[in-house]
């Protein structure tokens, strides 16, 4: 998993509330267990018409936001089913941070496990960042995980809270497998001891 330290990038505004995981990545794209290749189908039903053509008005189809790395979203983002494909699709598109007033719990947890930082801020802060994001590609936002701050294009700084353990994992690029591998030496020692004590196993 890639480390998340400081991100400065284009923020795309999505002022919709209750965006569920089926909107993020529709169910027909859940057949794969690969984490790559889902970005093209991110927000598929809002992004394309029935013939597969891009809908020009959708934010991520607009030239200013095609390279967005931050999403400013409405309340209760990521609700619905628990599909881990939702953060996979966001990450594969290039989104590394989602800022909202609140997130569904399972989606929130899945983000951290996949290298995405979900940031919860008060409504007035999200409204201000949403307005900034609406200005296009020149309105770049900086997210600093170490200092736990979001800095708007005009220099306004917003502080956010994050669990210390989750912060450690993101800063060091540790998913569940990475955390396990940190204990590789201890695991090897245990297995050697078990092999000697119980050779019949």
Q: What is the pLDDT of residues 37-51, one digit of tens each?
A: 999 999 999 999 999
Instruction: Tell me if 112 is assigned to some domain.
Output: yes
Length of the chain: 201
Show the tokens assigned to 129: 């960042």
Q: Which domain holds residue 41?
A: 6-173
Q: Which pLDDT score is estimated for 33?
A: 77
The b-or-e profile of 69-93 (16+ CB within 10 A means b, else e) is: bbbbbbbbbbbbeebbbbbbbbbbb
CA 130 to CA 133: how far, in whole Å?
5
Q: Which CATH number fits the domain that encloses residue 49?
A: 3.20.19.10
Instruction: Tell me if 197 is assigned to some domain.
Output: no
Q: Is the pTM higher than 0.85?
A: yes
Instruction: Tell me if 189 is assigned to some domain.
Output: no
Instruction: Tell me if 94 is assigned to some domain.
Output: yes
Instruction: Tell me if 165 is assigned to some domain.
Output: yes
Q: Which pLDDT score is estimated for 143?
A: 98
Residue 200 pLDDT class (50, 70, 90 cuts): confident
Longest C-alpha distance within the chain, in Å? 68
Q: Which pLDDT score is estimated for 138?
A: 80
**pLDDT at position 15 over 80:** yes
Residue 75 pLDDT class (50, 70, 90 cuts): very high
78: helix, strand or coil: coil
Q: Could you tell me whether strands 117-120 and 140-144 are parallel, antiparallel, or unpaired per DSSP bridges?
A: unpaired
Instruction: Tell me if 61 is assigned to some domain.
Output: yes
Instruction: Tell me if 182 is assigned to some domain.
Output: no
Q: Which pLDDT score is estimated for 43?
A: 98
- Residue 146: name the closest of 162, 122, 129 by CA: 162
Number of domains in the chain: 1
Is residue 162 classed exposed, middle or buried when 0-12, 13-18 and 19+ CB atoms within 10 A define those classes? middle
């Amino acid at each position: 998993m890639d480390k998340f330290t400081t991100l400065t990038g284009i923020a795309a505004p999505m002022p919709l509330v209750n965006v569920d995981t089926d909107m993020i990545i529709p169910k027909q794209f859940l057949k794969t267990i690969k984490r790559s290749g889902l970005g093209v189908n991110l927000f598929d039903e809002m992004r394309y018409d029935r013939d597969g053509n891009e809908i020009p008005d959708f934010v991520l189809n607009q030239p200013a936001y095609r390279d967005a790395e931050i999403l400013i979203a409405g309340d209760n983002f990521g609700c619905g089913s628990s599909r881990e494909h939702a953060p996979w699709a966001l990450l594969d598109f290039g989104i590394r941070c989602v800022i909202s007033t609140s997130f569904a719990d399972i989606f929130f947890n899945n983000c951290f496990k996949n290298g995405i930082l979900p940031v919860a801020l008060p409504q007035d802060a999200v409204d201000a960042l949403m307005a900034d994001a609406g200005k296009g590609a020149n309105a770049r936002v900086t997210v600093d995980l170490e200092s736990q701050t979001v800095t708007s294009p005009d220099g306004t700084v917003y502080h956010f809270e994050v669990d210390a353990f989750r912060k450690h994992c993101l800063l060091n690029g540790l998913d569940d497998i990475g955390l396990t591998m940190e204990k590789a030496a201890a695991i090897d020692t245990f297995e050697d001891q078990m092999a000697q004590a119980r050779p019949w196993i």
